[in-house]
Amino acid sequence: MLVQPTDNVLPIDGGSSMHSMSTGRHIGAILIDDGKLSSADAEQVLRRQRELGWRFGEAAIELNLITDADLKQALAKQYEFPYLVSGPEGVSKELIAAWDPFHPVSEELRAVRTQLLIRWFNPGAGRRTLAITSPCAREGRSFIAANLAVVFSQLGHRTLLVDADFRAPRQQAIFNISDRFGLSSVLSGRSDLSAAAPVAGLTGLAVMPAGPLPPNPLELLSRGSFAALLAKAQAEYDVILIDTPPVTEYSDATAITFRAGDALLISRKDATRLADTERAMRDLSDASARVIGSLMNAY
């Protein structure tokens, strides 16, 4: 993932560390609860820890009782930093911030999150809803939206990811959730905010899939019910991210960003044409949306 440094772009300027407060539980207790150590093992580790003056986890690894991955998982629980180890089944490996939070790409995603917190996020001013869009298809928009939702939830923010792409929705496949009900159901009056499904293993994250694909996407998104949904979501969630269709191919994205107010524009390295990016910027500006930045995806 790369970013071009201009006044209208979010720079990636380094990773961020865990922000959540520790639970206060000892790492040994967490490892015992997880079945990684027995009580006898823990006593052996404590003796070795006293001998070497090391941390508990380091001593446990030195004794070959746990792996580095076991320790990272325990530390994640201690600091309330949720990520996926073995499930839920079917969740896409594209969700790299959840499967591998220590990967360099995950670090870059956290850096983007930091810039969004500085440049965009302002609940007091009503700025907690962000459309994630792109000029054209296959530029990584859904990938970025899904992973940003994960890293915001890892920060402790109650996060809602809405798939508003009625043309080629992907979030139900990325998170392996049912799309029997979703955004289209809500906008047609057949469901409500409860159509957003909590993601098992990722505390604080909920995903609202697109739902059954409607014959009138733009008309649905232009209804007052979409604005009403976002208003209700803002009362229940700290961060709302919306995955949109491509700007230059459908008018849906401008209708969505008009309601959201703010947009992050995704381009793909060696794929997105400058002319398409410029057109997308004009279309979003014409919709009275504030484009807070442009992110170039190289993943």
Cβ neighbours for 250, distance < 8 A, ≥ 6 positions apart: 167, 217, 218
Model pLDDT, residue 207? 98
Q: How large is the average pLDDT for residues 143-147?
A: 97
Residues 102 and 232 in one domain: yes
Residues 121 and 153 in one domain: yes
Residues 111 and 207 in one domain: yes
Residues 47 and 123 in one domain: no
Residues 149 and 250 in one domain: yes
Yes or no: say if 241 and 161 are a contact pair by the CB < 8 Å rule.
yes
Residues 209 and 146 in one domain: yes
pLDDT in tens, 31-56: 998 899 999 999 999 999 999 889 99
Please report which residue ranges of 10-38 form alpha helices under DSSP H: 27-33
Model pLDDT, residue 1? 45
Q: What is the residue whose two structure tokens read 């201009």?
A: 6
Residues 188 and 114 in one domain: yes
Model pLDDT, residue 72? 79
Least confident span in 7-11, 187-191, 211-215: 7-11
- For residue 3, being part of any structural domain is answered with no
Residue 12 confidence class, pLDDT cut points 50, 70, 90: very low
Cβ neighbours for 53, distance < 8 A, ≥ 6 positions apart: none
Prior bond of 88 cis (ω within 30°): yes
In which domain, by residue range, is 56 found? 27-78
CA distance 241 to 224: 19
Q: Which amino acid is at 15?
A: G
Which structure tokens are listed for 108? Answer: 């870059």
Q: How large is the average pLDDT for residues 65-87?
A: 77
- For residue 12, being part of any structural domain is answered with no
Model pLDDT, residue 11? 34
pLDDT of residue 14 exceeding 60: no
- Into how many domains does the chain fold? 2
CATH of the domain at 170: 3.40.50.300
Residues 56 and 164 in one domain: no
